[in-house]
Amino acid sequence: MRKSKSPYPDDWNEIAIRVKTLAGWRCIRCNHPHDPAAGYTLTVHHLDMDPQNCAWWNLVALCQACHLRIQGRLIMERYWMFDHSPWIQPYIACYYANMHNLPTDKQYVMDHLAQLLEYGKPKLNTLIIGE
């Protein structure tokens, strides 16, 4: 199991409430509302597993079920052969913008989404056989 890389910041409760409020108190992956009685507690996940990194692109509001699925499968540093789901594309694109010292504001990311997502695709080398 992947584990967090550092402790949470002192103002984590306020940060988490802000992220959930911006998401309309719904899971951004499955769109289910926060409803603990029905088993849908909204959480906030750090995509890069670093609780100290509270940049907008690193924090996603997810229900517990989606949180567990994403935490177990999504590794930001990994190349991806297939397109990302639409809900996560802005976050992934901004991760690549950050890694390449490009602007990380939402407007820039949305305006350059397709180009930024290309950073995460594997680069295949051409192999010449029998030259």
Could you tell me if 45 and 101 lie in one domain?
no
Could you tell me if 49 and 7 lie in one domain?
yes
Cα(30)–Cα(105) distance, rounded to whole angstroms? 25
pLDDT band at 127 (very low <50, low <70, confident <90, very high): very low
User: Once rounded to an integer, what is the mean pLDDT over residues 58-86?
Assistant: 89
Cα(79)–Cα(96) distance, rounded to whole angstroms? 11
Q: What is the pLDDT of residues 79-117, one digit of tens each?
A: 887 888 999 999 999 999 999 999 999 999 999 999 999
Could you tell me if 67 and 41 lie in one domain?
yes
Could you tell me if 5 and 31 lie in one domain?
yes
Evaluate whether residue 130 is within a structural domain.
no
